Amino acid sequence: MPASRLATILVAGLTLGCQQSATTPPPTTTGGVAVIDLDAVAAQLGRDQQMLASINQQQAALQQQLTEAARAYKQQIAERRQAAAAQQAPQGVTLAAFEQSAQAQLDQAKQQAEQNLAAHQADLIRQFRDQIRPAVRRVARARGLSVVVTKNDSVLYDFTDAVDITDAVVAELQSAGE
């Protein structure tokens, strides 16, 4: 009888032990990776349209400056042509050199305008990322995730919806009035 009693106690202990482990919650995830789609966040908050409007405004201003510079160069070339024609001296070489120099300066101004526009766009994106970073951190930490990567098909092959914090970040930003 003591052997059967021992077997009963062991079976009861194992049964209770198995039930106990089934009811304990799984440990919270720490150190995991969260995924966020910054384009979707910007679109849902309307920031993408704000950034696009700012870029278009900057582009229009730069285009106007380039148009004015081109007009000024053309006027200078026309004036030099008139002066060369009035002198009746062979000024073709210096006029051609001036036209070439003016075109080079205009091309350089176009390149600078493109660089300025790209810098403006990069600055807007950096500002947006900086603005949402605190909300991203709060949402990730609340889920026990310590690393956040942006959704990018060339970097991420696959991920589960459980680590996608995009909608939660949008909700937090909207509730904060941002």
pLDDT digits (tens, 9 = 90+) for 50-105: 999 999 999 999 999 999 999 998 898 888 888 777 776 566 668 788 888 888 99
What pLDDT was estimated at residue 86? 76
Residue 162 has pLDDT above 90, yes or no: no
pLDDT, one tens digit per residue, over 110-151 is 999 999 999 999 999 999 999 999 999 999 999 999 999 999
Nearest-angstrom CA–CA distance, 91 and 81 = 9
Residue (of 51, 31, 34) closest to 43 by Cα position = 51
**Higher confidence at residue 162 or residue 29?**
162
The pTM is what? 0.69
Residue 74 CB coordination number (10 Å) = 13
- For the record, the structure tokens of 148 come out as 């956040």
CA-CA distances (angstroms) from residue 140 to 12, 31, 51, 127, 128?
A: 42, 10, 26, 20, 18
Number of folded domains in the chain? 1
Expressed as residue numbers, the domain containing 104 is 2-175
Nearest-angstrom CA–CA distance, 75 and 131 = 47
106 Cβ partners below 8 Å, 6+ apart?
A: 66, 69, 70, 73
